[in-house]
């Protein structure tokens, strides 16, 4: 039996997330204070009090979700005695969650992770004018079919696979005019539904190149340590530990596909049977179960979740 800790991406945010942790545990409270200090503002107040529209802005949601994930991690480590290096074989995160995974594994300091994600969120938002880009989730088909739909919908515009989430859910990203063609084209390929996503920019496609350039510059000036356990890189779906490789893959990730289905499959093939989603929401636990049907997947975001999982994690 082996474990993996996985860290959620954008869309899992909600007002009030992490508040019960901060109220119950000094180690969690300290995480939010450290993130506030790193950003020079009270992000914690926005996380706990809203408004939701402001929290959902990419530049806020990204560091906020990382903060909640790290609050859970610090409680596990400092208050419950769970050592990541001893108890976990791999870490992985969905898009921005890869930064949370790396911070959890000691590759980034908490302050650097917060500042990088604030910059990443702003750079991604600025890369494409509002209304020019869009994203849509294709339900009922896998990545092979999604790639055919994307190629046909492009018609000279950008339309690419952004997220390969699980065997029957793939997200496309690109110019809005191309994404608008996806639903009709998808019908003949067996797409059950094409669901427009409520996002403010077309993430994980070539339109994000200005943001990738910004991240390359930022990461060049940040210390990356060797993580205590390997991280499964989004763009490779393979484990990496070398600091230079980590920086390179994080830059590629901005414009590249989040190969989440393959990341889960890689971990399962390497003996992982128990996946713990660390942070807000339960999205990844669901994706894990639909990819590795025999795996156990548990979400840890509240004090009661941690208490319920403690016996299994301690063994």
Residue 204 appears among annotated catalytic residues: yes
User: Is 241 an active-site residue?
Assistant: no
Backbone angles phi, psi at 258, to 5 degrees: -80, 105
Cβ proximity of 252 and 244 under 8 Å: no
> Which pair of structure tokens corresponds to residue 224?
């990356």
Buried b / exposed e over 34-60, threshold 16 CB at 10 Å, is bbbebbeeebbebbbeeeeeebbbbbb
Q: Which of 173, 175, 204, 299 is catalytic?
A: 204
- Catalytic residue chosen out of the listed positions 12, 95, 173, 299: 95
The residues annotated as belonging to the active site are: 95, 204
């Amino acid at each position: 039996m082996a474990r993996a800790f996985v860290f959620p991406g954008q869309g899992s945010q909600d007002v009030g997330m992490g508040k019960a942790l901060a109220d119950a545990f000094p180690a969690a409270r300290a995480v939010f204070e450290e993130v506030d200090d790193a950003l020079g503002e009270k992000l914690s107040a926005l996380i706990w009090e809203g408004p939701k529209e402001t929290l959902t802005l990419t530049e806020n949601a990204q560091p906020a979700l990382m903060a909640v994930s790290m609050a859970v991690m610090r409680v596990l480590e400092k208050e419950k005695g769970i050592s990541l290096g001893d108890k976990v074989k791999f870490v992985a995160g969905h898009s921005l969650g890869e930064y949370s995974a790396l911070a959890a594994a000691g590759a980034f300091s908490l302050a650097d992770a917060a500042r990088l994600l604030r910059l990443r969120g702003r750079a991604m938002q600025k890369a494409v004018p509002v209304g020019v880009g869009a994203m849509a989730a294709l339900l009922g088909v896998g990545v092979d079919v999604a790639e055919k739909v994307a190629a046909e919908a492009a018609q000279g515009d950008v339309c690419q696979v952004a997220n390969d989430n699980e065997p029957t859910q793939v997200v496309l990203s690109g110019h809005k005019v191309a994404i608008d063609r996806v639903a009709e084209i998808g019908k003949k390929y067996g797409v059950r539904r094409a669901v427009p996503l409520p996002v403010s920019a077309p993430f994980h496609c070539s339109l994000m190149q200005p943001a990738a350039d910004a991240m390359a510059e930022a990461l060049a000036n940040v210390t990356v340590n060797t993580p205590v356990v390997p991280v499964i890189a989004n763009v490779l779906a393979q484990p990496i530990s070398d600091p230079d490789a980590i920086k390179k893959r994080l830059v590629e990730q901005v414009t590249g596909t989040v190969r989440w289905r393959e990341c889960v499959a890689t971990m399962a093939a390497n003996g992982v049977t128990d996946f713990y989603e660390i942070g807000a929401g339960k999205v990844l636990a669901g994706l894990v179960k639909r990819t590795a049907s025999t795996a156990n997947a548990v979400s840890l975001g509240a004090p009661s979740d941690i208490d319920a999982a403690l016996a299994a994690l301690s063994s």
